[in-house]
């Protein structure tokens, strides 16, 4: 809480001396200096001016957990168990997997301003600059076994796309199996991690990372083309708390519906927004690489492809090579 108090006391418009920051935050001067160093270590841009004090180099749009919960729709509030915002954490999904093992209920939601060990599919690093994204994870429990969750990442992609798509704005597409893209670049990612008994019950932690506004240099470590809401053509950029509210509003009812009806209610929306349907891509399955034409997704959420010989098959797990997708 000390760091949060300091960040709220800092002003991007003017420099404040340590004494004033101490008064505003309720911290002792020594604690102010310690938290200033901690904030800088997390990547918060703070300028120091001799004789004047400290100021934020740019405005900091912090998440407000209380405001988020107040703004949730009635259906989402009914499904919500708990909601917290951490300033920094290893990974929101890692923490919820730990809580799931300890018996945490469905509808547990955790957000973070910063993750120092965020991850995507196949253990790839997910870079989470401080207060530049919306990073959240949601725990849900299912009566079925993990095999029933094969299409869950697609359903959650639809829920995220609904949140960020704006009338008249840039086209937001879905890239199998877990990316939300705009202009061919990654805007958001979804990661589903499951545990439990093979025959059920089981639990899933759905992690979502949405790029909101990355400052110059903050995306340097991202190893694929990316875009954020702030630079999306024709889009407005709501406050991060409003975006987080909309995401939770969409994800909780979507999880509840998936638990009852599976992927079927989400398939039509997915197919309308499929970024790869009709494209030639380089498909990577282990050591095997081949160029295939993407036909779409099947009822189980698998990728349907046709190879150069005209043979069709469904793929459950694969990667795409670096060669750009092209229309067949």
For the segment 256-269, what is each residue's pLDDT rounded down to a tens digit? Answer: 999 999 999 999 99
Q: 81 with 69: CB under 8 angstroms?
A: no
> Is the pLDDT assigned to residue 94 strictly greater than 90?
yes
Question: How far lies 183's CA from each of 174, 228, 232, 299, in Å?
Answer: 11, 11, 9, 27
Q: 142 with 203: CB under 8 angstroms?
A: yes
> Is the pLDDT assigned to residue 219 strictly greater than 80?
no
> Is the pLDDT assigned to residue 86 strictly greater than 70?
yes
Q: Quick one: pLDDT at residue 222?
A: 74
C-alpha 250/C-alpha 265 separation (Å) is: 14
pLDDT digits (tens, 9 = 90+) for 279-308: 999 999 888 899 999 999 999 999 999 999
* Domain residue extents for the chain: 2-56, 65-272, 279-327
2-56, what's its fold?
Answer: Arc Repressor Mutant, subunit A (1.10.10)
Give the residue ranges of DSSP H helices in 26-129.
Answer: 29-41, 65-71, 74-79, 92-101
Dihedral-angle region of residue 57 (phi above 0 means left; psi in -120 to 50 means alpha; beta otherwise) = alpha
Q: Please name the residue that has the structure tokens 């993407």.
A: 294
Q: What is the mean pLDDT of residues 151-156?
A: 97
pLDDT digits (tens, 9 = 90+) for 172-208: 999 999 999 998 899 999 999 999 999 999 999 999 9
Q: 149-180: string of b/e by CB count within 10 Å (b at 16+)?
A: bbbbbbbbbbbbbbbbbeeeebebbbbbbbbb
> Is the pLDDT assigned to residue 33 strictly greater than 80?
yes
Query: Band of the pLDDT at 324, cuts 50, 70, 90?
Result: low
What tokens were used for 233?
């053509």
Number of H helices, E strands in the chain: 9, 15
CATH number of 279-327: 2.30.30.100
Q: What length is written for the chain?
A: 328
> Is the pLDDT assigned to residue 166 strictly greater than 80?
no
Q: 192 with 153: CB under 8 angstroms?
A: yes
C-alpha 235/C-alpha 233 separation (Å) is: 6
Query: Band of the pLDDT at 123, cuts 50, 70, 90?
Result: low
Dihedral-angle region of residue 7 (phi above 0 means left; psi in -120 to 50 means alpha; beta otherwise) = alpha
> Is the pLDDT assigned to residue 122 strictly greater than 70?
no
Q: Which comes out higher in pLDDT, residue 249 or 238?
A: 249
Q: Quick one: pLDDT at residue 234?
A: 74
Question: How far lies 302's CA from each of 33, 206, 295, 312, 316, in Å?
Answer: 53, 19, 11, 12, 5
Q: Which comes out higher in pLDDT, residue 162 or 126?
A: 162
Peptide bond into 201 cis (omega under 30): yes
CATH number of 65-272: 3.30.930.10
Instruction: Measure CA 222 to chain center.
Output: 14
Compute the Cα dihedral for 55, 58, 63, 64 and give only its sign.
positive
Q: What is the mean pLDDT of residues 78-84?
A: 98
Please count the other Cβ atoms lying within 10 Å of the Cβ belonging to residue 102: 7
């Amino acid at each position: 809480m000390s760091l949060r108090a300091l960040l709220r006391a800092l002003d991007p418009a003017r420099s404040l001396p340590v004494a004033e920051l101490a008064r505003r935050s309720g911290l002792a001067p020594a604690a102010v200096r310690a938290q200033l160093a901690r904030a800088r270590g997390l990547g918060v841009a703070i300028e120091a001016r001799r004789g004047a004090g400290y100021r934020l180099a740019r405005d900091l749009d912090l998440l407000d957990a209380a405001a988020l919960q107040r703004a949730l729709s009635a259906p989402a509030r009914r499904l919500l168990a708990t909601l917290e915002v951490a300033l920094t954490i290893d990974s929101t999904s890692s923490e919820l997997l730990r809580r799931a093992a300890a018996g945490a209920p469905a509808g547990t939601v955790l957000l973070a301003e910063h993750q120092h060990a965020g991850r995507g599919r196949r253990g790839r690093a997910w870079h989470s600059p401080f207060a530049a994204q919306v990073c959240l994870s949601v725990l849900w429990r299912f009566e079925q076994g993990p095999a029933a969750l094969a299409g869950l990442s697609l359903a959650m992609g639809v829920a995220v796309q609904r949140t960020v798509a704006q009338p008249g704005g840039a086209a937001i597409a879905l890239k199998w199996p877990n990316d939300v893209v705009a202009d061919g670049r990654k805007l958001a990612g979804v990661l589903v991690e499951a545990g439990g008994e093979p025959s059920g019950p089981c639990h899933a932690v759905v992690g979502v990372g949405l790029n909101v506004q990355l400052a110059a240099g903050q995306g340097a470590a991202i190893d694929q083309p990316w875009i954020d809401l702030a630079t999306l053509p024709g889009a407005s950029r709501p406050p991060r708390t409003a975006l987080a509210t909309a995401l939770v509003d969409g994800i909780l009812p979507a999880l509840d519906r998936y638990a009852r009806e599976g992927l079927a209610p989400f398939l039509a929306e997915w197919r309308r927004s499929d970024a790869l349907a009709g494209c030639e891509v380089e498909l990577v399955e282990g050591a095997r690489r081949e160029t295939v034409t993407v036909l779409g997704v099947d009822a189980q959420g698998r990728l349907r492809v046709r190879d150069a010989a005209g043979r069709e098959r469904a793929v459950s797990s694969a990667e795409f090579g670096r060669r750009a997708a092209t229309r067949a």
